[in-house]
Homo-oligomer: A and B are copies of this chain.
């Protein structure tokens, strides 16, 4: 299943193996991935490589990880926000503090909404927001 000599790093091969059932819907949102030792033993690879693969998927926003394991990220309810001509929106990754403050998972960006005449931009979680023009 995983071949060390192919030029493709082991951790990437594993990431692709985990990605497949998620993208085909065999592993649905909310469902758990296998535990790190499972992947280690099944493919005969080190924990480092397993964790690197999982970290990659996490920073892509595909999964979330807690002390109880990793799960496919669940879709959130989306609030639609109307954007007028007086408004400029950019996107970026949140700081760790913003993640904490707004309850944002790793791998989820934020909208930065700057309205004319307001000093402070509004920060909107990227997994719970959609923008619509005015």
Using CB atoms and an 8 Å cutoff, list the residues of chain A in contact with chain B: 55, 59-61, 78, 80, 82-93, 95-96, 106-111, 126-127, 129-134
Q: A83-B83, A126-B109 are in contact. Are A92 and B61 (CB under 8 A)?
A: yes
Q: Which residue of B lies closest to A56 (CB)?
A: B96
**Which residues of B have CB within 8 Å of A83?**
83, 131-133
A87–B133 touching, CB < 8 Å: yes
Copy total for this chain: 2
Cα A126 to Cα B112 in complex, Å, equals: 11
A82–B126 touching, CB < 8 Å: no
**Would you mind naming 25 contact pairs between A and B with Cβ atoms under 8 Å apart?**
A59-B59, A59-B107, A60-B93, A61-B92, A61-B93, A78-B90, A80-B88, A82-B133, A83-B132, A85-B133, A86-B133, A87-B132, A87-B133, A88-B131, A88-B132, A89-B89, A90-B129, A90-B130, A90-B131, A91-B91, A91-B110, A91-B111, A92-B126, A93-B107, A109-B109
Given A87-B133, A91-B91, A93-B107, 17 more pairs with CB closer than 8 A: A59-B93, A60-B93, A60-B95, A60-B96, A82-B133, A83-B133, A86-B133, A87-B132, A88-B131, A89-B131, A89-B132, A90-B129, A91-B110, A92-B109, A92-B127, A93-B108, A109-B109
